Structure 1
Amino acid sequence: MLELDRNLRIQDISGATEFSPFRVGILPVPGFALMSYACTVEPLRAANLLSDSKLYEIIHFSSGGPVPSSGAALIERTSWPGGAEDIDLLLVVAGGDPFAFDDAAILEWLRLLDAQGVRIGGVSGGSVILAMAGLMEGRRMTVHWEHAAALSEIHPDCLIERRLYVMDRDRVTCGGGTAPLDLMHALISSQWGGGFARLVSDWFLHTDVRAAADPQRGTLAERLGSNSPHLVEAVSAMEDHIADPLSLSQLAMVAGVTPRHLNRLFAERLGRSTMAYYRAMRLDVAQRLIKNTPMSIAEVSEATGFVTSSHFSGAYRQNFGVSPRRGRQVE
């Protein structure tokens, strides 16, 4: 049995002289967000540094050459994917448009690792790729909030939770951004204790470690710039009813005010009428679906609550200056 002594040195209280590091495979997908990647691997590197021991071994997988990030960084491959692997955890790190991922060989390899008993996870858009591989059935999961609506449309059976990270048996999913810092804190804490995990987090000035259930976004009041409970209730209802829009009277009932009062609040605090704000919200969701998923125009129209594709196309053009089809081509 291994533990860290007071000097952060590895000792084996069972009497053995050697131990095997916890082997973490990283599969970066071209266009991955560098922030998500760094917050995933750097705590493991720091754990090795602070303990002066190889607690973790990181293996980078790629089916090609160096993998480009969304910025200028390239990640060098240390191993080829494809066969059985002697790893304890594999994390797929993806960003950009994970719905465009179409590497059938990688998807099959992920299934092979699952059959082999490897714990598998996704960071940011990596959770989308796990769903594509059919590995999230019956598992709770999370994904970056930008991809949540599209993933729900394409894989309606996915049990998506809007939180920082989810550990469900042999699956680990994380929203990306800085959330992997919190995930890695939990991982290191479970293996080497909370005291050592705190030292690793402090190494990165990560003094406010968040819980798994913490939200991915600021509170609705913060995003709106208003503490009006009536506005918060109305906008929250809008976000919950993108595909099945509520009427002005229904929104007013939820907010606990008259339709006229609600319109006045929206005009004063948010600069537009209630329903204009609602339509712009639905069109923003539509734009993300158009740019980031293979969904057809008709499917996007239905998913965002427009009665017909022609009505949707007209509203989209009026709001963004281009048709939905052109918007997809421009991207």
Structure 2
Amino acid sequence: MQQAKFHNPQPTRIGFLVVPNYSAIAFSTAIDPLRMANQLAGIPLYEWSVISLDGQPVPASNGLAVSPNTDINNAGKLDMLFVCGGIDIRDCCDQRLLRWLQSLAAQHVELGAICTGTYLLARAQLLRGYRCTIHWENISSIDEEHQFPDTVFTSELFVIDRDRYTCTGGIAPLDMMLNIIGQQKSRSLAETICEEFIHERIRNVSDMQRIPLRVHLGTSQPKLVDTVSLMESNIEEPLSLNDLARLVGVSRRQLERLFKKHLNCAPTRYYLELRLNRARQLLLQTNLSIIDVALACGFTSPPHFSKCYQHFFGHTPSQERRGHAASRGHTATSAARPASAHDP
């Protein structure tokens, strides 16, 4: 690639703050576009550093750890900072970290978040009046708890709102960073990076993070897609099968045939599984009582909710929550235990 003239000859300095159990794939797909931008441009357009709370390695959710360059007290001058989150993000709300994020905002550092890192920006009160996104598994629990009423959480792949940059997990950071590179440096440079990474296209802010059912079914089953959309929008107060059929303009019998043929289940079963999966998200991601979770997912009888949950997942809601708490405690203990020469 021919070296282009760029408006800002000084490298953009970007920090990546990693917290325990961050997503390794999301972290990597955020950094690699910067490396490729420098390589293709032939000049250092970007400089980046990895930062942790205390400068010590932080294990990702896959158990691997990257050695940070520095800690939050010695991060130096930054133009942008991205908070890299993953699972159990609520356990990472260290007050020192939140205060540091607030100090960066006061210095007009542009702030971003990857995967569930958005939660930490919101907890630091740095997303008030902003639109943002977070991994789809976390949106329902945040909405249910009404923790951040002044922040709009969307289902978009990534959101760029003024000086805030948020994206979901997986390879979504690749698309967000390509859009940032296109805005800051050169659109043609971003497109060339996309080709180098064998990425089909640069997705934009209008792309949604979950693969819609219509992608799987194509355009031949609009009634089925509309029905599932109605189900997903009516979890707390489920619609009857007759109401669903009426709203999409088919008979109940025809709707049952569509579900059986294309999804291999009855519509009532599909609806129940949607509600149970939502309930599991709320159990694992919020402090709502089991009764409140049941009501939020359309179960008026807690015993009926528990029975359905156990039949579908193999254990009761209370067992689910206790098991999750125990596994988190075990992980924290293992991470804190110093390595021994006798360890396997």
TM-score above 0.5: yes
1:82–1:106 Cα contact (<8 Å) kept: no
Give the deviation of 1:236 after TM superposition.
0.7
Partner of 1:235: 228
Letter in 2 for 1:26: F
Partner of 2:238: 245
Q: Is 1:307 aligned to residue 277 of structure 2?
A: no
Task: Spell out, residue by residue over 1:240-259, the C-alpha distance to the aligned partner (whole angstroms, 9 max, x if none).
Answer: 11122112222112221122
Partner of 2:2: 7
Task: Spell out, residue by residue over 1:115-140, the C-alpha distance to the aligned partner (whole angstroms, 9 max, x if none).
Answer: 22111111111112222222221101
Task: Spell out, residue by residue over 1:261-302, the C-alpha distance to the aligned partner (whole angstroms, 9 max, x if none).
Answer: 222332333233222211111001111222233333233223
Letter in 2 for 1:165: F
Give the deviation of 1:10 after TM superposition.
5.8
Letter in 1 for 2:64: A
Return 233-242 or 272-281, whichever deviates more.
272-281
Q: Is 1:66 aligned to residue 61 of structure 2?
A: no
> TM-score normalised to the size of structure 1?
0.89
Pair 21,99 (structure 1): closer, same or farther in 2 beyond 3 Å: same
Equivalent residue in structure 2 for 1:293, among 283, 286, 305: 286
Give the deviation of 1:202 after TM superposition.
2.2
Q: Equivalent residues in 2 for 1:138-287 (5 A)?
A: 138-154=129-145, 155=147, 157=149, 158-223=151-216, 227-287=220-280
Could you say what secondary structure the match of 1:313 adopts?
Answer: helix
Pair 210,325 (structure 1): closer, same or farther in 2 beyond 3 Å: same
The separation in 2 between residues aligned to 1:145 and 1:200, in whole angstroms, is 27
Equivalent residue in structure 1 for 2:28, among 38, 44, 68: 38
Pair 156,315 (structure 1): closer, same or farther in 2 beyond 3 Å: farther
The separation in 1 between residues aligned to 2:101 and 2:158, in whole angstroms, is 20
Pair 11,305 (structure 1): closer, same or farther in 2 beyond 3 Å: closer
Q: Is 1:105 aligned to residue 108 of structure 2?
A: no
Structure 1 residues not aligned, in runs of 5+: 1-5, 14-18
The separation in 1 between residues aligned to 2:169 and 2:265, in whole angstroms, is 33
1:67–1:74 Cα contact (<8 Å) kept: yes
Q: Is 1:80 aligned to residue 75 of structure 2?
A: no
Give the deviation of 1:94 after TM superposition.
0.9
Letter in 2 for 1:254: L
Give the deviation of 1:43 after TM superposition.
0.7
Task: Spell out, residue by residue over 1:13-61, the C-alpha distance to the aligned partner (whole angstroms, 9 max, x if none).
Answer: 9xxxxx5321111011211121111110011111122223221111211
Could you say what secondary structure the match of 1:61 adopts?
Answer: strand
Could you say what secondary structure the match of 1:26 adopts?
Answer: strand
Task: Spell out, residue by residue over 1:279-327, the C-alpha distance to the aligned partner (whole angstroms, 9 max, x if none).
Answer: 1110011112222333332332232122143332222122212111111
Letter in 1 for 2:212: T
1:164–1:174 Cα contact (<8 Å) kept: yes
Partner of 2:309: 316
Partner of 1:95: 86
Partner of 1:16: none
1:142–1:173 Cα contact (<8 Å) kept: yes
Structure 2 residues not aligned, in runs of 5+: 325-344
Return 223-232 or 271-280, whichever deviates more.
223-232
Return 19-28 or 83-92, whichever deviates more.
83-92
Pair 43,187 (structure 1): closer, same or farther in 2 beyond 3 Å: same
Give the deviation of 1:168 after TM superposition.
0.5
Pair 311,132 (structure 1): closer, same or farther in 2 beyond 3 Å: farther
Query: Percent of counterpart pairs with the same letter?
Result: 36
Return 277-286 or 43-52, whichever deviates more.
43-52
Return 238-247 or 285-294, whichever deviates more.
285-294
Give the deviation of 1:260 after TM superposition.
2.9
Partner of 1:3: none
Pair 32,84 (structure 1): closer, same or farther in 2 beyond 3 Å: closer
1:84–1:112 Cα contact (<8 Å) kept: no
Give the deviation of 1:207 after TM superposition.
4.3
Give the deviation of 1:218 after TM superposition.
2.2
Pair 101,235 (structure 1): closer, same or farther in 2 beyond 3 Å: same
Q: Is 1:20 aligned to residue 23 of structure 2?
A: no
1:25–1:58 Cα contact (<8 Å) kept: yes
